Amino acid sequence: MTDAGLLSPGTHRGDAHTDDTAVLQALLDVEAAWVAAQADAGLAPPAAAGAARAAARAEDYDAVDVARRAEGGGNPVIPLLADYRRRLEQLDPGAVRFVHRGLTSQDVMDTAMMLVLRRASVPLGRQLRATAEALARLVEAHRGTVQAARTLTQHALPSTFGLKAAGWLAGLQDLEQDVAGLGRLPVAYGGAAGTLAGSLALFPGAPDAAEQAVDLARRWADELGLGTPPHVWHTSRRPVLRSAETLGAVCAALGRIANDVLLLSRPELGELREPAAEGRGVSSAMPQKQNPVLSVLLRRTALTAPQLVAQLHLAASQYVDERPDGAWHTEWPALRELARLAVAASSHAQELTAGLGVDTARMRANLDASGPAVLAERISAALAPLLGPGPDGATGRQRVQAVVREHATDREGMLEALLDLTAGTVLADGTPVDRGLVADLLDPAGYLGANDLLIDRVLARHRRGADAPPAAPGTPAGAADHDAAGGPAGLTPRSSA
């Protein structure tokens, strides 16, 4: 049986870093890195580390066979270990005894999942940065492209497409630190019952065995490019939840872009259009159609991700004792699918934003079609204070609003009616209310609020982020990851002496 993605079109773009081969490779790398960490600590010969790495090639193993045998112990680590030991024995029989000692299956499985996420974060981050660059170009190019702002599906006020694209960009900027955190995930390290007893046994008779066991975890983390955890997290799942929330938020931010594109690319609006590509957007029954497939797939992902995040929260709430009994197993497919979806979605978004077509004339035409009533807020704010009560007792504001309602779609009619209503009035500075002033009030381009300031702030933030060097994988998230002496924080135990 295979899962080629027939029921999840487009997710193949994330397969290279999240499929079964990627998971298998991560599991092997975790085991090999543990041998290498022991060699670095002087507990194993350097040759054992070399052999352990040479034996850790996913293409040398049968993932289907490992998956079937995983039923026996409830996880894939157990059958894979047996295969790994056999292969390593062919390369270096003496190295076999260093494999997995002091570890438990959960240490390996959790650490491998963190490694899968870190590796998936590389294309994810790269594609999101490319998407941000494309959005920044759209923002700058269309800061003056007037269009209707819509609230509750209706035209509300004039705005610009540049400001809309700036909102998309800001949504990605808000996630930059969270996405960077996927490159600083922790190893899982606790042994059979979360006490580190198995690792302490590697240092028999040493008065500082506990400190050396924790230092071995640091060496292991360094080998893998991961971080050292602040505590044993066998049943405290914040690293998983934080990762899931980040991936879910990425899917949501990209889904927000897709929603706008889907709406504005409807033929009756026609303000945006997806980039064309051979074979994309075709219909089996209607050859004239060009469906916005990239946005459809992004929306699919945004609708799927929340349930996966919820599954992980549900699992975390069901952990018991020092090792879980079933809740842990539900994490693996949910977390892997989230990573797969997010990487694929970031690829789709990069392509969508880089080639997004913008019909500026249609944007202006759609805005104009809503008539001068779209400027009711501006007209009322400028003219209502100049008017006294009407013969019927209506306030100045009510008198202006009555004109706006009567001439909602008739610019010239509204212009004349407002001139009649305000005849003989002057502004606070003495400027008479004349045809030129009222005509300016009816120009949508003159009522864009803080458009330029808001756009400049987003672009400045983008430039600061683009100039900052990316954090190296495995770099600690901050000083909290290390104690004052520079060692790993949180896990540092007290000596039994």
Residues with a known catalytic role: 283, 323
Phi–psi pair at 92, nearest 5 degrees = -160, 90
- Report whether 377 contacts 51 (CB < 8 A): no
Angle at 37 (CA atoms; ends 35, 41), nearest 5 degrees: 115
Three state DSSP letters for the chain: CCCCCCCCCCHHHHHHHHCHHHHHHHHHHHHHHHHHHHHHCCCCCHHHHHHHHHCCCHHHCCHHHHHHHHHHHCCCHHHHHHHHHHHHHHHCHHHHHHCCCCCCHHHHHHHHHHHHHHHHHHHHHHHHHHHHHHHHHHHHHCCCCEEEEEECCEEEEEEEHHHHHHHHHHHHHCCHHHHHHCCCCECCCCCCCCCCHHHHCCCCCCCCHHHHHHHHHHHHHHHHCCECCCCCCCCCCHHHHHHHHHHHHHHHHHHHHHHHHHHHCCCCCCCEECCCCCCCCCCCCCCCCCCCHHHHHHHHHHHHHHHHHHHHHHHHHCCCCCCCCCHHHHHHHHHHHHHHHHHHHHHHHHHHHHCCEECHHHHHHHHHHCCHHHHHHHHHHHHHHHCCCCCCCCCHHHHHHHHHHHCCCCHHHHHHHHHHHCCCCECCCCCECCHHHHHHHCCHHHCCCCHHHHHHHHHHHHHHHHHCCCCCCCCCCCHHHECCCCCECCCCCCCCC
In whole angstroms, what is the distance from residue 288 CA to residue 281 CA?
Answer: 10
**Vertex 398 angle, CA 397 and 399, to 5°:** 90
Q: Which amino acid is at 94?
A: G
CB proximity list for 49: less than 8 A, separation 6 or greater: 32, 35, 36, 38, 39, 40
